Structure 1
Amino acid sequence: MPRWKALPGELDPQVREFVEQLRRVVDRTGLSVAVVADRTGYGKTSWDRYLNGRLLAPKGAVVALAEVTGTPPLHLTTMWELAERAWSSSEMRHDRTMEAVRISRARAAPGEFGPPPDVRERDVGRIAVTPGVAGPAGVSPTMPPSRDARIPVGGAPGGSGPRRTTLFLAGVVGVVTVVVGAFLLTDGGDRKQAVGTTGPPSPASAAPSTALPPGVLCRGSDCTGRDAEEMGCSGGLVTTARTATVGATLVEVRFSSTCGTAWGRITRAAQGDEVRVTVGPVRQTGAVTVAGDTIAYTPMVAVKSPADATVCAVLASGEQGCTP
Structure 2
Amino acid sequence: MPRWRALPDELDPQVREFAEQLRRVVDRTGLSVAAVADRTGYSKTSWERYLNGRLLAPKGAIVALAEVTGTPPIHLTTMWELAERAWSRSEMRHDRTVEAVRISQARAALGEFGPPPDVRESGAGESDVGRIAVTPGIAGPAGVSPTMPASRDARTTADGAPGGSGPRRTTLFLAGVVGVVTIVVGAFLLTDGGDPQQAVGTTGPSSPASAGPSTALPSGVLCGGADCTGRDAEEMGCSGDLVTTAKTATVGATLVEVRYSRTCGAAWGRITQAAQGDGVRVTVGSVRQTGAITVAGDTIAYTPMVAVKNAADATACAVLASGQQGCTP
TM-score scaled to structure 1, two decimals? 0.45
Q: Is the radius of gyration larger for structure 1 or structure 2?
A: 1
**Higher RCO (CA < 8 A, seq sep 6+):** 2
TM-score scaled to structure 2, two decimals? 0.44
